Structure 1
């Protein structure tokens, strides 16, 4: 008898995972888009990206409810687009989920280093990898329970920040130097706008561990995207409104070295950097990073497991631990790749690489949705995307434009991404035979 994944997840657990995958994007990284586009340019990019993610979430929910498999887009594409496209989509998904955690791990190490300067950023990040990979190996119920607690704390802290910042909001800060690089800046800001929402599709990768996937996944996706859209608007407006966009991009508030800590920079202008609320935000801010780091490790494990089960990766990655009923080999393999990426020290480039994978995933998933409607109109669909085909077409348009923009502004990383796809595909064609 084959060992299967354990079904334990509820709608609330799915909400916590969905928000947890993403929430670190509210804490760091997004502010670097302001350097590219200013307040207006970043706002335009964020609005378009938010629209894409809302319509994508509705569309992806239909696929996840109709085909509740741990492989996500790999399984959806395999059903209607053939094995080759399914493999490419699986690689894209793996790139997204495996390369996002190292960037977050580096931020976790930086947080500890801020409080304990003697603590090495890299060593702390590696310890975090070992700790949370181990937690995910023990069992999905323990991992999901931890994620629920840590996500609720992270959401609460963001709301606390908004509550502190709102009385100091000044609308003039939103319009000052708002469009410094014109439309080119708005397009260049797209990857950082995507970082606000990157990873929410990971809910679909735990479908096989959900008690009632056809019913519960739509609730988890819906509650998660509503929460994230609300937090995105509140955090963006309140952080920029305190002192203007330059104040939360540059460490000295004017120009020079950029910062990955927009919320502490904004709060320091209100309370100073010795106030108890400032230190509370810094301390609890770690929860947001941990929530996303831990959640993405979980989703990445399921993605790699499904690729291994299909023999597109070495078969060992498709094995389930008989003791814990989790994809232990896939989790360990992902950790090793993540640590190697972490040692490169190129955090911004790793984030951009992950975004390339995500956008490829979105485009292929929407094509699969449209083809599945045509090929299997009678397939049981517990949830149907509203306003079909408008929603998936909108995702396709925004996704393709975003990919083109990414290649234009990040062509070196784009070439690395294409090389990963090409080498993986060649090896797939050789060894699959």
Structure 2
């Protein structure tokens, strides 16, 4: 069954809400704790890193949008890399996304959803059952059709912005505004160089998800025109929201106190609105995380489906079938089952660090691919071209490489082990590809 049989039902609003919905998820609510812990409770590097990571992400989005528009096929980054570098590297990208990135992100979001839900109902013993249950619920909803998945994104995006807007407005009205914002950059006992990379990898999780809208290009009505608008417009909105809401956090609580709360947004809301307000914001967080979780299931399953269509994924006969609603139900279930297994670890930060590191290896290859395509296929139809070429692609490549090298070699033993683990899981795809290639032949 070919990819072209997927129905083209998604427009600019669904694509834009998918970008915003997948990016604004858990990160803006939970990562400030990790950020200010890494800076030793100092605000400067933390607040500036939200801007730097935003610039990096916009450069990445502007760069990748050219590839997305020139190769508007279902499968996203995997298909881009396959078209640019060949089938083996393309498969390795899809393998990493299918067995590591998407299930890892789904698991991390489910864990953090369950943490907030159990805190709300005061039943901590239900954390793992709720984490698995929410993954399975999202899997079921996505089997009903791509319009259902797109509708969930639109609703969740609107709902999640409400608590953020309330915090941004009333944080500045009711906060003291007496806390330090830009100084000191880091605490005296913190190494600035290594802290930069660690803070950026934490914040890049909060920005992650932008590239995956390309995975639904085959189901968009006008991908050449709408996809770049969705990526760039969505990221600009996200960057503005992230910067302002983090200023609002600091307006209410100092950085060293934010470092002590697992959900800084809820802590700030409780100070602004009282105990009831804190609970309301927690509900908003649950909706936000649910929308992000839905987005990763929606797009991640399309990657598994594309691999199955190419007969390179074990079990491809079942995974390449569409159900009555014309969506790849078996591929949706695959991503969610692996995600459920990862969720049993209960480790939010470990899962996010592992997933983001592995993904950025291939993001950088995609950025480099824009330059490779310009050189090798100058006549390729490009509905969109990255502005200020080659400055913006080079900025994306350099920035991403700095973060990866720092995480692998300079961020401590734990970070290095997590990074190496991601590389090993990815490389397992090579013998799988060789075995499946021989089997199909």
Match of 1:52 in 2: 56
Counterpart in the other structure of 2:80:
76
| Cα deviation digits, residues 52-74 of structure 1 (max 9, x gap) | 11011111111111111121121
After TM superposition, give the deviation of residue 268 of structure 1 in Å: 2.6
- Show CA shifts across 1:332-387 (max 9, x none): 11111101101122221111111112211211101211111111111111111101
Give the corresponding residue for 1:394. Answer: 395
**Partners of 2:177 and 2:399 in 1: CA distance:** 32
Query: Normalised by the size of structure 2, how large is the TM-score?
Result: 0.92
Corresponding residue for 2:71? 67
Q: Structure 1: which 5+ runs fail to align?
A: 252-258
Runs of 5+ in structure 2 lacking a partner?
Answer: none
Q: Equivalent residue for 1:255?
A: none
Q: Report SS of the residue matched to 1:269.
A: helix
Aligned 1:87-106 pairs, distance under 5 A: 87-94=91-98, 95-106=100-111
Q: Segments of 4+ in structure 1 off by > 6 A?
A: none
Counting only pairs closer than 5 Å after superposition, residues 3-402 of structure 1 correspond to structure 2 as 4-24=5-25, 25-37=27-39, 38-94=42-98, 95-118=100-123, 120-167=126-173, 168-170=175-177, 172-175=179-182, 177-180=184-187, 181=190, 182-251=192-261, 259=262, 261-272=263-274, 274=275, 276-314=276-314, 315-316=316-317, 318-402=319-403
2:434 to 425, 429, 432: 429
The alpha-carbon deviation at position 196 of structure 1 amounts to 1.9
Q: What TM-score results when the alignment is normalised by the length of structure 1?
A: 0.93
RMSD, aligned α-carbons: 1.8
For the Cα contact (< 8 Å) 1:30–1:196, is it kept in 2? no
Alpha-carbon spacing, 1:373–1:339, altered in 2? closer, same or farther (3 Å): same
For the 8 Å contact 1:198–1:358, the answer to whether it is kept is no
User: Any conservation in 2 of the 1:100–1:351 contact (CA below 8 Å)?
Assistant: yes
Stretch moving more, 8-17 or 75-84: 75-84
The answer on whether the counterparts of 1:173 and 1:242 sit within 8 Å (CA) in structure 2 is: no
Contact 1:70 1:204 in 2 (8 A): yes
Deviates more, 1:195-204 or 1:261-270: 261-270
CA contact (8 A) 2:96 2:425 kept: no
Whole-angstrom CA distance in 2 between matches of 1:81 and 1:48: 30
Residue aligned with 1:61, SS: helix
